[in-house]
Amino acid sequence: MKLRYSPTSPYVRKVLVTAIELGLDKRIERVLNSTLDPNSDNPLGKVPALIMDDGEVLYDSPVICEYLDSLHQGAKLIPAEGPARWRALRQQALCDGIADAAILRMLETRRRPEALRWPDSIAQQSGKVSRALDRLEAEVAHLEGALTIGQIATGCTLEYLDFRFGDEDWRPAHPKLAAWQATFAKRPAMGKTVPKDPA
């Protein structure tokens, strides 16, 4: 399998952490991909995209993670049924939404000329992140227990906020979430996938 990736993408990191946790990372070749490339395997130009052994392409990260979860016989990261399934999928959706908002804010503040920036949009995206973090703080007990895709998404997203907005510490207002993250960050899969800007 080949994974089209960016070293800064929280969605790519979620896939990589999933692959490592499932013992599948050695089966995946990483191929650096620019989201500006019109010839990307994903017609939307987004990463990640997974090219399977038969040439079929999967995107985006929730689909790829579910596919990887289907390739092993151990405990599933996406529970098969019941409340645990919906909780894990909801956590993943919430954290993907945090990443969406953070990326939009980053593009507005770092890529757009200052004279063309839209303060209302920046405030709107910041508000989404803040409300979602409040929800995670209130439901931090749901992040305990056996490893799930919800936990992986949460860990990757929180560290993406640190990576892109390190001067805006989310921890003081979310102490329980901060304590959870401090423990989760010690997982070897997290240590192997720390985001970094390309040289």
Average pLDDT by stretches of 10, the chain with 199 residues: 95 98 97 79 90 96 98 95 97 98 92 82 96 98 97 98 96 98 98 86
Q: What is the CA radius of gyration of the chain?
A: 17
pLDDT digits (tens, 9 = 90+) for 124-140: 999 999 999 999 999 99
Question: For the purposes of burial, counting CB atoms within 10 Å of the CB of 126, is it exposed (0-12), middle (13-18) or buried (19 or more)?
Answer: middle
**Residue 73 carries which side chain, given as an amino acid letter?**
Q
Q: Are strands 29-32 and 49-51 parallel, antiparallel or unpaired?
A: unpaired
List the structure tokens of 87.
Answer: 């909780």
Residues in the chain: 199
Q: In the chain, what are the domains?
A: 2-69 (3.40.30.10), 82-188 (1.20.1050.10)
